Each structure stands twice: as C-alpha cells, then as structure tokens.
Amino acid sequence: SGGIGGEVVVDHSGDITVLGDGAMAIKAESINGGGGSLALDLAGVVGMPGVPYVGMIGIKPKEEPVIAVRVGAQKATSMNAGKVTVNTTGTFQTAGDHAIVDFAQSLAGGGGTLSMNVDLASIENEIGAMATGFHVVLGGMDGNDNRAADIASTHTGDLVAFGDLSTGVLAQS
C-alpha cells in the first residue's frame, strides 16, 4: 500500500494524424494503484470444452461460459497519482472507430477507461442455445485514501475525430 505516481507534462507543437480503430493522437496519464485503459474486442463462438452435447431433452450443462473483465485495483490504500498537463498546438486528428484525439487522466486506486466491442454467438445444439455470461468491473474495490491529481489541458488549433463513438477530448481525474 502507498505510493506516488509522477507528474506528467506533454508539450507538443505540430500536426498529428493517426489512423485505425482505438487510435489516440495524444495520451498522457499518471496511474498509481491500478487502473488504466483496456480495449477489448471479442468476436467468435463461445462454448464449453468438455461438456457433452447430448440429445436428451431437459439435459443442459451445469456451468455456463463466463467472460470476466476487471480494470482497476483491489484494496489499494494511500495511492496518489500525479498531475497531468497537456499543452499542444496544431491540427490533431484521428480516423477510426472508438478513437480519442486528446486523452489525459490521473488515476489513483483503480479506474480508467474500457472500450468494448463484443460480437459473440453461442454454440447451438439439440438442447438449444447455451447462455454466455459477461461480467465487467471498472474501478477500484475496497480501497481507501486514494487521491488523483489535477488535469490541465490547453490546445490551440483543431481537434478532429472521425469514426463511430470517437472522442475529441477525454480528461478524467
């Protein structure tokens, strides 16, 4: 327990262009005690290996497949993140879904960002479709006395975000 994340300073002048899903033109973060960013892209088929698929009506597997995701810390105490400062000039642009042009965060004790794209199909058999559980935890659990710091962000010029669910500026503390 206990710790200090350092101060982060970004000074940039000039143009930035990034392409692709989940792309970031500027990312500045101070993290202590867990957390951060997670991009999750799941596609395909979910099944239970080793579970027999029998044709008897009323017989179903005892367990269901579960996908569990956690972003953050557990029982973090006295974690301190540093100040994040971003000073930029120019044209910054992203082209892609879920992209962020200017991202700044100060996290202490857990938390952050989670970007998910889920496209799952269950295996079907004579019994019917198998359910798929999905469990997501974002943030710290059972922590105390965790402190994030200030975010200071200035920009002169254009911020351009092309793409579905894209963000121009994301600042969190």
Assess if residue 69 is contained within a domain.
Answer: yes
Q: How many domains are contained in the chain?
A: 1
Alpha carbon separation from 48 to 56, 64, 112, 118 (Å, rounded): 18, 7, 31, 18
**pLDDT reported for residue 77:** 77
The number of beta carbons lying within 10 Å of the beta carbon of residue 138 is 15
Q: Which domain holds residue 124?
A: 3-49+59-172
How much is the pLDDT for 125? Answer: 47
Could you tell me if residue 54 is inside a domain? no
Tell me, what DSSP letter sits at residue 75?
S
pLDDT at 172: 85
- H/E stretch holding 151 reads strand 151-156
Predicted pLDDT of residue 143: 73
The pLDDT, as a whole number, for residue 139 is 66
* 35-70 as b/e: b if 16+ CB within 10 A: bebbeeeeeeebbbeebeeeeeeeeebeeebeeeeb
Which residues does the chain have with pLDDT short of 70? 1-2, 35-36, 42-74, 118, 120-142
pLDDT at 89: 96
pLDDT at 55: 47
State the CB neighbour count (10 A cutoff) for residue 26: 20
User: In whole angstroms, what is the distance from residue 80 CA to residue 1 CA?
Assistant: 11
Q: Output the pLDDT for position 2.
A: 66
